[in-house]
Amino acid sequence: MAQPLEKPDLPARFASFADFRLGAKRRIPHFAFEYLDGGIGRDVGLARNYSSLDRVLLTPRTIDEGTPPETALDLLGERWTYPFGVAPVGMGGLFHPESAPALAKRSAKLGTPFCLSFVASHSVETIISAMGRAPWHQFYWPRPDDVQNDILARMKALGVTVIMPTLDIPGHQWRERTIRAGVAAKPSPWVTVRDVAPKPLWAYETLKYGKPGLPNIQTYSGGGPAEAEMFLLQNCIRPIGPEEIRRLRDKWDGKIVVKGVMAPEDAEDFVKVGVDGIVVSNHGGRQLDAAPGTPEMLPPIVEAVGGKTAILADGGVRDGMDVLRLLALGADFVMVGRMPYFACAAMGARGAASLDLLAMQVRTVMAQLGVRNVEELRRLKVEVS
């Protein structure tokens, strides 16, 4: 017998990704919205992530009445309640001062992983305090050996078990929307007045909690956000290939998941140097406007790897249906970035309940598809229109 839906703790006007995005646009300054929402160039790559997911069709099956769908699965040596986690998103304090801690805390309660960005507005220690366990940690792998060694020693001491070096920012890029919006570590006074004055609630909350910094980088750069940005550009934004990851593998005995692989040949090379996982990702459409969408490259990468390492995917995920689309295409797990951060931008820490919405959608769509678990999902007929 069907039961009433257990609705997430969200206002009725916030029922979808589109609602969160619109709420964020209304609530936060223009420069902050453009940083979160924007891609690069003409936003063709960003749009392709969404459109390529929309083209994935799943044929539902009928089943006899029985137990509800089982959403849990194993990944990287742990059992997770749902097949998705929160992807690393930089400068979350721009959207709401408590966005990352709130999402980390909610992730822990749901039994899903939370990955903290190296350019987050909160330190790893703050996130551990919020969620009661260590997050996964994404970083742009710095060049100096002493910094590398210190990061790894700190992460191990803090209990971090999964590190996620990002590969798809080999150089600084010209993101037109953020340039026009005046996004910078030290925004001009004009940008501040123009964008912040119409958003008094955001201004009050930012004053209350303090201007967001980049604490994970400032540990090594010293100074404030401007010095951290310069350190990042000079030491971390650089090409990273299999040989660099092999050296990292020699230093780190935890899990290594490389993020930003889009070519099957590259995936095979990273398997050879011993990575534990690969995130198929075009960096949310923020680096190369001509890049294919994640759903387009996921199947050939899954085939090339042949089960030798875990395959995660991100890019363009708006709801539970999109999570299941990527799983049906062969992903072992899905990371979700913009959706929960839009929700926090729209309604503050309460937006962390967007993860409950995502969980509910996964359950209800699995039931509609007639699958009892993720393995049955992968046996459905999948078409790309």
Please give, one letter per residue, the 3-state secondary structure of the chain. CCCCCCCCCCCCCCCCHHHHHHHHHHHCCHHHHHHHHCCCCCCHHHHHHHHHHHCEEECCCCCCCCCCCCCCEEECCEEECCCEEECCCCCHHHCCCCHHHHHHHHHHHHCCCEEECCCCCCCHHHHHHHHCCCCEEEECCCCCHHHHHHHHHHHHHHCCCEEEEECCCCCCCCCHHHHHHCCCCCCCHHHHHHHHCCCHHHHHHHHHHCCCCCHHHHHHHCCCHHHHHHHHHHHCCCCCCHHHHHHHHHHCCCEEEEEEECCHHHHHHHHHCCCCEEEECCHHHCCCCCCCCHHHHHHHHHHHHCCCCEEEECCCCCCHHHHHHHHHCCCCEEEECHHHHHHHHHHHHHHHHHHHHHHHHHHHHHHHHCCCCHHHHCCCCEEEC
Task: Domain ranges for the chain, please list them.
Answer: 17-384
Under 8 Å CB-to-CB from 156, ≥6 apart: which residues? 254
384 phi, psi to nearest 5 deg: -115, 115
Q: Which residue has the tokens 């969200």?
A: 10
Q: Determine the pLDDT at residue 5.
A: 72
Angle at 81 between CA 80 and CA 83, to 5 degrees: 75
pLDDT of residue 186: 65
Cβ-contact 329, 56 below 8 angstroms? yes
Distances (CA, A) of 56 to 61, 307, 324: 16, 22, 10
CB neighbours of 347 closer than 8 A, spacing ≥ 6? 10, 11, 14, 23, 27
State residue 38's pLDDT score.
96
Closest Cα to residue 80, out of 116, 115, 56? 115
Burial 110-127 (b: 16+ CB within 10 A, else e): bebbbbbbbbbbbbbebb
Residues 330-379 pLDDT 10s: 999 999 999 999 999 999 999 999 999 999 999 999 999 999 999 999 99
Mark the ranges of the chain whose per-residue pLDDT is less than 50. 1
How many Å apart are CA 339 and CA 351, to the nearest integer? 10
Residue 174 CB-density burial (10 A; 0-12 exposed, 13-18 middle, 19+ buried): exposed
What are the tens digits of pLDDT across the range 54-77?
A: 999 999 999 988 889 999 999 999
In this prediction the pTM is 0.96
- Alpha-carbon torsion angle 164, 170, 280, 271, nearest 10: -70
- Which amino acid is located at 85 in the chain? G
pLDDT at site 3: 60
List pLDDT tens digits, range 96-121: 999 999 999 999 999 999 999 999 99
| Contact present, 3 and 67 (Cβ < 8 Å) | no
Residue with tokens 């459109």: 51
Give the pLDDT confidence score for residue 65 in this predicted structure.
86
Strand partners, 257: 277
Closest CA to 119 of 227, 226, 215: 215
Q: Is the CB of residue 63 less than 8 Å from the CB of residue 377?
A: no
> Top-level CATH class of 17-384?
alpha beta
Rounded distance between C-alpha atoms, residue 354 and residue 361, angstroms: 10
Q: Are 86 and 335 in contact (CB under 8 A)?
A: yes
Question: Which of the residues are catalytic?
Answer: 283
